[in-house]
Structure 1
Amino acid sequence: MFLSVLRLAHSSSGTASIAKPELSRRILRRHTGLKRIRKAVIPLAGHGLRMLPATLAVRKALFPIVDARGRVCPVLHLIVEEAVNAGIEEIGLVIAPEDEAMVRAYFSRLPDPLKSAVGHRADLLAAAESPGELSDKVTLILQDRPLGFGDAVLRAKSWVGGDPVLVMLGDHLYLSGEDRCCARQLLDAFAELQAPVSGVTRKSVDGIHHFGTVSGRPVPRWNGLYELDTVVEKPDPGLARERLRVEGMPADTYLCWFGLHAMTSDILECLARMERDGATDGGELQLTGAQAMLSAQRAYFALEVNGDHFDTGSPEGYVEAVAAFAGPTGITNK
């Protein structure tokens, strides 16, 4: 069964430009000390303000999605499955202390009376038992105050240790456009590059104010791969046109975060340094600043993921996810 991890004591800007040595001196150099990514961190402690009033009663991580197989799964379940399907072996869920009992209850083994009640339906039994089957991979990490996405990731520092880690947004779902799931695409790129790599997707200028947006230099002989140059958290169109154009991309089209980040453990050192220095944005510790700091220290890449992502923490994104996961023909009665 999963364990709880003691929370760490709590002790700038969303825009960063990065000056680096020439790519040819740094790219694709093997680092024998790096391991493959076995761990994923998924922060879940946010209030879900965009989904009020529903989140007064139900955490957004438990909002239901009906998939093409007819399973009714909460968002959290599908995110954990994405990680497991990518080959992740250990998953750290960063949660508020008051949510611990709820999350433990969801990932508990199916009680015998309920198992007997659905035993005549093999499909329902398999669906009902699936949360318990994931429980051995899950560790709970407590965040006593929601002080930003970066702070949530930093709470996992002692659990991650010196290992590389996959950081996944706790309200994003993914549908791949190929046989490999979206997270697997990123892990494969990390294994090849042996450097941090974040997933990105193309967005038109009218939608970038919802997402972290980046610019970078295309990497020769690797379609869809860029070395990061500038990172801006939710830019306005004027700033994007001035600083975030990417060579070879259509006008008013930009690279935005996909919600998946394959990181070396250096990202946690950067977050810890920002916390010590008080480098917060509106009192919150943001991952964007740490990503900019990390990129200034070493090669850091962005990969266009072959697939779609859905921000289920917004009404529009949740509606899109519900429609997309049901499949092209929707769910029918059997």
Structure 2
Amino acid sequence: MDERKNIWQSRFYTVPRVYMSLVGIWPYHRFRYRCFLFVPMFTFSITILIPQLKTCLKTIEDDWLSLNTDVERNILQRHTAYGRYITLTYGIFMQFVGILLISKSVVIMLLEDTSDATVSSLVAEAKLPLRVEYGEMLNQYLYPMAVHCYLAVFSHISITIAVDSCYIALIRHACGMFAIVGHTLEHIGKDSNDNFDLKPDKVKDDNYNKTLGCLRKHLHVIQFAELIESTFTNIFLVSVCLNMIGGSMIGIQVVLNLNDAKDIVEPFAIYIAQLIHLFLQFWPAQFLLDYSILPYESICRSNWYYTSRRCRKLLFLIMNRSLLPCKITAGKIVPLTIENFGRVLKTMMSYFTMLRSFK
């Protein structure tokens, strides 16, 4: 036992040991001590997200209440309905993966005899959906430990669905608001003709008033997109890094179990779920990037030449701001786009090839 402790007390593991102890996840500490450290660290790190998310949701409420026409409501409803379809499909699939993992474990436990005291811990661990280390206690309390693993699977999947569905809903709302701004700008000058007044009175200049409203709404949506970025950027940095490494390791398990139909189901389902989870971080961000330049394209399609000079100045401001599209990044480093998603997949394959060479 002393030799085992000396291994982790060596200078080679100083950094992970110190920081894992600091956040309360060092498994060799007493349970009470781990809880004493973990609870406040977890509370401080998670609760800061609640005010940010509440601000995002409050913005959505205000935007819905600010819509004045049925056309605007229909545009926003169309975009949110598309987001609902994505999140519903994603939620069903992820819950199916969780049920599959739990069902496989339950079936194995029912079909194979676990009452024999000579069953090794390795064999017992193979019956669980997660690889855990309970030592000799696993043989004695296999079923309670199995319930613990089942609840952990359900919790992990539920948290993943909650975060991803919230992210997708926020992105689709931002895209809908950009679409509303673009729709209004595209119809600027449509009711004018060659006899329009180049310097009308500001009160009577309908095109100017509409454009001014679009400018304010455009800046508001940009601020909302920046709020989404600040809320999720650090989460996505951790998620992308872990998925690249984890996806490569799960891919190795899939390859190693190609000839065993029973053992390939679990890693293959997890591998597909990881890819979809990663894809749904990049794909909505690509939508936001594309829709953020929609006001620029809408102005180009409008009859801007039938508007007053003051209106054209506002249109120029909107076009100038639209040249800098809104982006969601991973840690302010990597923009989440479909192109970068392809690069992440290539990186995962590189890790996969490297790990496979060690086999």
| Short-chain TM bin | under 0.3
- State TM-score, norm by structure 2: 0.23
Higher RCO (C-alpha 8 Å, min separation 6) = 1
- State TM-score, norm by structure 1: 0.24
Task: State the structure with more CA Rg.
Answer: 2
Which one has the bigger helix percentage?
Answer: 2
Which one has the bigger strand percentage?
Answer: 1
